Structure 1
Amino acid sequence: MFNSPFTRRAFLQSTGLAAAGTAMSVGLPGLANAAAKGTLITPQRKALVFIMLDGGNDSYNMLVPNTGVFYKQYAKTRGNLAHKRRNLLALDGPEDDDGRSFGLHSAMPEVQQLYNDKKLAFVANVGPLVERIQKAQFYDGSAQLPLGLLSHADQFKHWQTSRPDLRQNDGWFGHFADELQPSLSAHDIPMNISLAGHNIQQNGHQNLPYSITADGSVGLYVKEERSDLNDVLLNSFTKLMNEGHRDDPFMETYLDLTRQAQAKHEVFQEATRGISVPGRFSTTDLSQQLRMVARTIKASEALGLQQQTFFIRYIGWDHHDELLNNQGQMLGILSRALGEFQTALGDMGLDEKVVTFTGSDFGRTLTSNGNGTDHGWGGNTIVMGAPVKGGRVYGDYPSLGLGNDNLQDIGDGVLIPTTSTDQLYADLSLWFGVQSDALDGLFPNLKRFTDLSSGARLGLFS
Structure 2
Amino acid sequence: MSLSRRQFIRSSAQVTVAANLAIAGAAPVYSAPSSSANKNPLVSIKPESKALVFIMLDGGNDAFNMLVPSSNSHYQEYKKTRSNLALDQSELLSLNGFKDQDGRHFGLHPSMPEVKHLFEQNKLAFVANIGPMITPVDKSLFYNQSANLPLGLMSHSDQFKHWQTARPELRINRGWFGLLSDSLQANQASPRIPMNISLAGNNIMQNGFHSGAYSITDEGSVGLVINEVPNQLNKLLLKNFEASLNQNYPNDPFRQSYLSMTRQSQAQHQLFKEALEGTKLKTQFSNTELSQQLRKVAQSIKSAKALDHKQQTFFLRYIGWDHHDELLNNQGKMLKVLSKALGEFQQSLDELGIADQVVTFTGSDFGRTLTSNGNGTDHGWGGNTLVMGNQVRGGQVFGQYPKLSLGKDNPLDIGDGVLIPTLATDELYAELALWFGVEKNQLDLLFPNLKNFPAKLGKGSLKALIRA
TM over 0.5: yes
Provide the residue aligned with 1:230 in structure 2.
Answer: 234
Look up the match of 2:129. Answer: 125
TM-superposed deviation, 1:186: 6.3
The correspondence of residues 127-142 of structure 1 with structure 2, limited to 5 A, is 127-142=131-146
Gaps of 5+ in 2: 1-32
Matches within 5 A, 1:247-326: 247-326=251-330
Q: What secondary structure is seen at the aligned counterpart in 2 of 1:174? A: helix
Question: Contact (CA 8 Å) 2:98, 2:106: kept in 1 or not?
Answer: no
Match of 1:417 in 2: 421
Which one of 244, 247, 251 corresponds to residue 243 of structure 1? Answer: 247
* Whole-angstrom distance in 1 between the partners of 2:374 and 2:51: 42
Provide TM-score, normalisation by structure 2.
0.89
Q: How many Å apart are 1:171 and its aligned residue?
A: 0.4
**Alignment partner, residue 216 of structure 1:** 220
1:195 corresponds to 2:199 = yes
> Which of the two has higher C-alpha Rg?
2
1:189-225 deviations in whole A, cap 9, x for unaligned? Answer: 0000000001000001001100000000011122222
Residue 376 of structure 2 corresponds to 372
Measured after TM superposition, the shift of residue 32 of structure 1 is: 8.4
- Distance in 1 separating the partners of 2:207 and 2:291: 25
Q: Which has the higher mean CA deviation after the structures are superposed, 373-382 or 92-101?
A: 92-101
Structure-2 separation of matches of 1:417 and 1:185: 42
What secondary structure is seen at the aligned counterpart in 1 of 2:385? strand
AA partner of residue 284 (structure 2): R
Q: Which letter does structure 2 place at the counterpart of 1:286?
A: L
Which residue does 1:18 correspond to in 2? none
| Matching residue within 132, 139, 156 for 2:160 | 156
Q: 1:458 aligns with which of 454, 460, 463?
A: 463
Aligned to 2:453: 449
In structure 1, list runs of 5 or more residues that go unmatched. 1-24
| Counterpart for residue 96 of structure 1 | 100
Q: Deviations over 1:324-368 (max 9, x none)?
A: 000000000000000000011111101101010000000000000
How big is each residue's C-alpha offset from its partner over 1:401-429, in whole Å with a ceiling of 9 and x where there is no partner?
A: 00011000000000000000000000011
266-275 or 179-188: bigger deviation: 179-188
Deviation string 1:283-341 (CA, Å, 9 cap, x unpaired) is 00000000000010010000000100000000000000000000000000000000000
Give the length in aligned residue pairs: 430
CA shift for structure 1 position 440: 0.4
Deviates more, 1:85-94 or 1:374-383: 85-94
Shift of 1:451: 2.9
Q: Are 2:39 and 2:187, in contact at CA under 8 Å, matched by a contact in 1?
A: no
User: Which whole-Å CA distance do the structure 2 matches of 1:132 and 1:43 have between them?
Assistant: 33
What is aligned with 1:4? none
* 2:113 equivalent in structure 1: 109
Contact preservation (8 Å) 1:187, 1:260: no
Match of 2:401 in 1: 397
Partner residue in 1 for 2:64:
60
How many Å separate the matches in 1 of 2:47 and 2:202?
25
SS in structure 2 at match of 1:90: strand
Query: Percent identity between the aligned chains?
Result: 59
CA contact (8 A) 1:194 1:311 kept: yes
Question: Normalized against structure 1, the TM-score is what?
Answer: 0.90
- Match in the other structure for 2:361: 357
CA contact (8 A) 1:92 1:391 kept: no
Indicate yes or no: 2:44 matched with 1:40. Answer: yes
> 2:45 touches 2:438 (CA, 8 Å); kept in 1?
yes
The aligned amino acid for 1:381 is T
**How far, CA to CA, are the matches of 1:261 and 1:32 in structure 2?**
23
Report Cα offsets for 1:241-289 as digits up to 9, x if no partner: 1111111111011111101111111110110112112211000000000
Question: Amino acid of the residue matched to residue 461 of structure 1?
Answer: I
* Counterpart for residue 342 of structure 2: 338
